[in-house]
Chain A
Amino acid sequence: MGNQAGFHKWKLLKNAGLAGAVVLMTLSLALPAFAFDYEKWIGKEGMADTFDELLAQYDSSACEKCHAAIHGEWKESFHAVSIISSLKSITGFYTKGIQSEWGREFSLAESVKCLDCHIPQVNTATERLSREIGDMIILSGTKPDSAEGKAAKAKLEKLSINCVVCHNLKANMAAIGYLKQPTKEPTDADKALGITARVYTGHSKGNAPHSVTETNGMKNSVFCEQCHGIWVSPDGEKIQCNSLSGSYEDSYRARGGYKTCQDCHMWEKDRGHRMPGGHDFDGIVKESMVMDVDALAIQRFPDNSSASGKWIPSVVASVRITSTAGHRIPDG
């Protein structure tokens, strides 16, 4: 509905002459209405108002039964700890940022500025539940050693970038126009298998007993870039935890690199759903940089002057660091 209202205003602007300036201002204020309509997308289940309802909407236990090896890889990934690994930073955002520096009240609209990537599930939570989750984050971030803080963390640990988040919720967003009618709702046959969301993958169905919607979007960097890059909030705020996607698109590809995020972080060396990155010191980090050094011992004049008749022992060296990564190092 918000999109339709915005569209009519745009048509008005085209035809309105002098009145256009006023309409233009209205249009810019209406921009947040163009944000994705999660309430419509989530379907008949409706927005989750309790923590358990939210967990149920994104329950991936049916996936684990057959995809145990992939689940095991994922458990080692940062995606599996997407919220609890960042409690301190997000707490800082919510308390120092939103409440103190910006002087705003905490709300769902503010919370998604972190959580649309850290736990995108919050998009289908009610305002009340989003505040409850925000309180849990702040409690576990500010009082990590207290009993309440530990309990909040234990609860938050159940939320993460799990199967449903990538293979449904975020799968839909990277190329939403291309996917025509993305849906959360699984088929009735899939529901009978305990599957909680329509499965989108970059691969063909194979022998899967459930339905699969194949999308090339998930095989391309654009899929990962939804979170691993600058994120612009529906209200226009630019959130720049990292800017990997910009470096990838404008530096790596500009220099003729054509690997995707998935090539390096998933498919090469069977990294799979571990998707290692900057924390994988002995793996992908060390592979991404090669250092070559030449050094020469010389005796040189002090200040390039031979007047003193002395020489100073010195070393001249050349250091060359070759990066094979698909983005700047470091980033974010």
Chain B
Amino acid sequence: MAEYRKDYIHMGIDVDNYQRHGAWQIKEIVDLSIQPLEVQKERIEMSLPEGTEEASFNVRLLYFVKGGTSTVVAEYSKELIYQ
């Protein structure tokens, strides 16, 4: 299975530019999040094994509130046929 993953995060860093989780350590952010009132665009190309005749293409947008707790916000599926 081929996989492409893009993370949108709001990363806290300390004064030495190390990523941190502690609220007493975070002094700046690196903003790799989805911005308000904007369209975040991604263009993806993925190659499959030679001879593949069919493939299932799935896109899932997941939202993680903290740690491993997440929900699927949106999903897209398409069956691809190669002749």
Residues of chain A having any CB pair with chain B under 8 Å: 89, 92-93, 96-98, 101-102, 113-114, 238-241, 243, 247-248, 251-252, 255-257, 278-279, 281-282, 285-286, 289-291, 293, 295, 297, 299-300, 310, 312-332
| Cross-chain contact A322 with B39 (CB below 8 angstroms) | yes
Contact of A92 among B22, B34, B44 (CB under 8 A): B22
We find that the number of chain B residues with CB closer than 8 angstroms to chain A is 47
| Cross-chain contact A332 with B10 (CB below 8 angstroms) | yes
Q: Mark B37-64, 1 if CB is under 8 A from A, else 0.
A: 1111111111111111001010101011
A312 to B55, CA, bound (A): 13
| Cross-chain contact B33 with A330 (CB below 8 angstroms) | yes
Closest to A101 in B: B24
| Cross-chain contact A313 with B55 (CB below 8 angstroms) | yes
Taking the closest CB of chain B, its distance from the CB of A324, in whole angstroms, is: 7
| Cross-chain contact A316 with B22 (CB below 8 angstroms) | no
A278 to B9, CA, bound (A): 14
Contact of B73 among A239, A257, A285, A300 (CB under 8 A): A285
Taking the closest CB of chain B, its distance from the CB of A22, in whole angstroms, is: 28
Given contacts A97-B25, A293-B59, contact A316 B52 (CB under 8 A): no
CB-CB under 8 A from A97, the residues of chain B are 22-25
Does B17 make an interface contact (CB < 8 A)? no
Q: What is the predominant secondary structure among interface residues of chain A facing chain B?
A: mixed
Closest to B49 in A: A313
A281 to B12, CA, bound (A): 23
A101 to B24, CA, bound (A): 9
Closest to B27 in A: A238
A330 to B82, CA, bound (A): 38
The 8 A-B residue pairs whose C-beta atoms are closest, nearest first, are A97-B24, A291-B74, A297-B80, A281-B71, A328-B33, A293-B76, A252-B36, A255-B37
A327 to B38, CA, bound (A): 11
A98 to B22, CA, bound (A): 11
| Cross-chain contact A329 with B8 (CB below 8 angstroms) | yes
| Cross-chain contact A93 with B50 (CB below 8 angstroms) | no
| Cross-chain contact B41 with A279 (CB below 8 angstroms) | no
Given contacts A293-B59, A318-B42, A319-B41, contact A241 B23 (CB under 8 A): yes
| Cross-chain contact B34 with A323 (CB below 8 angstroms) | yes
Given contacts A319-B59, A329-B8, contact A312 B38 (CB under 8 A): no
| Cross-chain contact B46 with A314 (CB below 8 angstroms) | yes
Closest to B81 in A: A297
A320 to B76, CA, bound (A): 12
A192 to B33, CA, bound (A): 51
| Cross-chain contact B65 with A324 (CB below 8 angstroms) | no
| Cross-chain contact A285 with B71 (CB below 8 angstroms) | yes
Taking the closest CB of chain B, its distance from the CB of A122, in whole angstroms, is: 16
CB-CB under 8 A from B42, the residues of chain A are 318-321
Taking the closest CB of chain A, its distance from the CB of B12, in whole angstroms, is: 7
Taking the closest CB of chain B, its distance from the CB of A290, in whole angstroms, is: 7
25 CB-based A-B contacts, threshold 8 Å: A101-B25, A241-B26, A243-B29, A247-B35, A252-B36, A257-B37, A286-B71, A289-B61, A291-B73, A291-B74, A295-B78, A297-B81, A312-B48, A313-B80, A314-B47, A319-B41, A319-B59, A322-B38, A322-B39, A323-B37, A328-B31, A328-B33, A328-B36, A330-B9, A330-B64
